[in-house]
Structures are given as structure tokens and as C-alpha cells.
Copies of this chain bind each other. A is one copy, B any other.
Amino acid sequence: MARLTSRSTGTAPRSLDVAQLAGVSQKTVSRVMNGEQYVSDGVRRRVLEAAEELGYRLNHAARALASGRTRSIGVVTLGTALYGPASLLMGVERTVRDTGYALRVVNTMEGDASGVAGAVDSLLDQGVDGIVISEPIDEDDGADLSVRVDVPVLVLGAPPPFAASRVVTAGLVSHQQARAVTEHLLELGHPTVHHLAGPRRWFAARDRLEGWRATLAAHGRREPPVIMGDWSPASGYAAGSRLADDDSVTAVFAANDDMAIGLIRALLEAGRRVPEDISVVGLDDVSVAAYVSPPLTTVRQPFEATAQDGLKRLVHAIENPDADPIPEQDPPVDLVVRASTAPPPCRTTPESRRTTA
């Protein structure tokens, strides 16, 4: 009964130690730890008990080396605390555990030219079975990813920024959200809708702008000049200060809630009432949206659903390399109408069509 290789204490127990304690081969321990079949219940129990007694934990590095799979997924994030990216990351985090994968996170360093490419590279370097790219923003240079990405990639909230063998996307909902917002405003009777856009480098910003533009066109409305913001309340405030002087403005769609809140602040300071004089809509439904003055009409973002749906499809792609990808499932648009929108001040008559093509 003497152990063949009793290890000096201080070293972590290996599967061989467990095997000896349980009186089985090392391979059997491996089978049990991996939940494989073809192990009798008695042996399985003995092994489990031995492992427990020794405080054994499987060495993932060794497993990864031997199997070539790391059982981990890498996430590329922006490294900002902006509501959208941060919420998406949380959604990914919460979901990934259920998939049985571990999570590695890197962020695209601001001001670094390598950007997404560098981040993906570093993940590949660390060893991951799949990659999630959350809301990539356009690179300064057109840095294309020269490295070969041979693992499946999930892109959240944007189309793939590079070519990879197997790519899936999720959360491409900005266009429809913008349409819902614009139509809501038009239905209230506003002759047209102004738009405070996010930075051009963000796909979500461009897509919202497109959705707004397309909707105005579809209704034959004049398209006012776009105002550019940077997602921050300060930029919304600046936009509001400019807009406040223009009496023709009756409705503004801000590309996110933060800008909407800054915008409203500027309008109020300028003596314009919201929504009596000007209606404002945001996008995100941040937690305070219902409690600012006036409570903000906005669109709730489906972060959790996007993360879940995307991850499910990424894992499918990882584990079934040859199978067809699962089709994307768009969540419904969730417009939350509160008190920042109302019919325009004077003109109750809905519209004078044909102003523009």
C-alpha cells in the first residue's frame, strides 16, 4: 500500500497522486475529472473522494498544452466606463460562465494605433478558443488585421472590422432603434426631427444617424443638419446651447441618454421648455433616465439579450467548427415613452408633405 511517489508537501497534488490514493491509473482520474463515460460508479466515487481529500485541482495549463484547447474566451473592450460598452461587458461576463468557458479581457488602448488588431493579437497570444469584440471603433489608420485569426469571432454592436474565418455578429439594432425614435416624434406631429449624433468612428453612431435619415426620407421630411456630439453630457449641453436659439427646432433625437440630458439642461437654461417647446429623446435608458427632469423618453438597450444570443452562437461556432452558424435573433425595439416628448407647440396639423423628396 505504500505510495509509489509520495510528493513532498508544498507541491500541489497532481492527478497521479489522486490515482495512487484511489488505487487506479492516472488516466482514469483524467476520465473522471472530465466527466467521461465508461467509468464505473464505484471507481468514480473513489476517485472523487481521493481528489477531495488531497484538495486536488486540475492543472489547466497542462490540459491546454495537451489538448490544444484553452476553454477560454477573450473579450476586446474599449476600456471606457460609457454605459453601452460597460453594460455589454457585464452582459458577456454574466453569460460566459454558463457556457463553461473562462473569460480573458483586454482593452484597445486609446491612442494606440494597433487598436483592435493589437488587442486581438494579444488574446491569440494568450490562447483563447474564441474572441468577442465589443463595439469596435474605427481605427485611426486603416490598420487591417494582418494576423490570421483562426478562432471564431463574435462582434457585438458593429459589423466585423476585419475578415476572419468564422465571424458572427449580434446587437446590430441601432438602425431600427433610431427609426422607432424618429417615427415616435413624427407621429406626435413634429414636422421634422433634429439629430445629435455620436462620434463618427462609432458604428452605433453612424447606424443611428442612418436610421434617422432613412426614416425622415421615408416620410418625405426635410433633413436638418446633423449636430455632432461625443456621447458626453457636455457635448449635449453644447449642442443644446446652439439649438436653443433656433425656433424651428421642435424635436431632437440624441444618440444617447447622456447627451440628451446635457441637451435638456442647456435648453432649460436658455428658457426653452421640454417637452412643451422642444421634445427630446435619448437612447440607452440609463438608470437615471426616468428620474431626470423631465423624465426622459428613450430606448432601452437589450444588452443582456445581445450578450446571451451572441455568446451562444460563438460557443456553437467554437464547438461545431463545421456546422452552419446559428442565425442571429434580433430583440424587439423597446421604446420607453416618458415625459420629454409631446406634440410640437403650435402646429397641431400633422404635416405638410413633400417638403423634400
Q: Does A106 sit within 8 A of B, measured CB to CB?
A: yes
Chain B contacts for A126, CB-based, 8 A: 60, 72, 102
The reply to whether A288 and B102 contact each other, CB–CB distance below 8 Å, is no
Q: How many copies of this chain sit in the oligomeric assembly?
A: 2
How many residues of A are in contact with the other chain, CB < 8 A? 58
Q: Which of A340-355 contact B (CB under 8 A)?
A: none
The reply to whether A291 and B236 contact each other, CB–CB distance below 8 Å, is yes
Name the residue of chain B whose CB is nearest to the CB of A58.
B125
The reply to whether B97 and A86 contact each other, CB–CB distance below 8 Å, is no
Of A62-70, A178-186, A216-224, A312-320, the stretch lying at the interface with chain B is A62-70
The reply to whether B90 and A237 contact each other, CB–CB distance below 8 Å, is no
Q: Does A227 sit within 8 A of B, measured CB to CB?
A: no
Chain B contacts for A81, CB-based, 8 A: 83, 86-87, 90, 303
CA distance A90 to B88 in the complex (A): 13
CA distance A125 to B83 in the complex (A): 31
Chain B contacts for A290, CB-based, 8 A: 233-234
A118 CB to nearest chain B CB (Å): 10
Binding site for B on A (CB under 8 A): 55, 57-62, 64-65, 70, 72, 77, 79-81, 83, 86-87, 89-90, 93-94, 97, 102-107, 109, 122, 124-127, 147-148, 232-234, 236-237, 257-258, 261-262, 264-265, 268, 286-288, 290-293, 295, 303
11 contacts between A and B (CB under 8 A): A80-B90, A90-B107, A97-B106, A97-B109, A102-B106, A102-B122, A103-B106, A233-B287, A261-B292, A264-B291, A288-B288
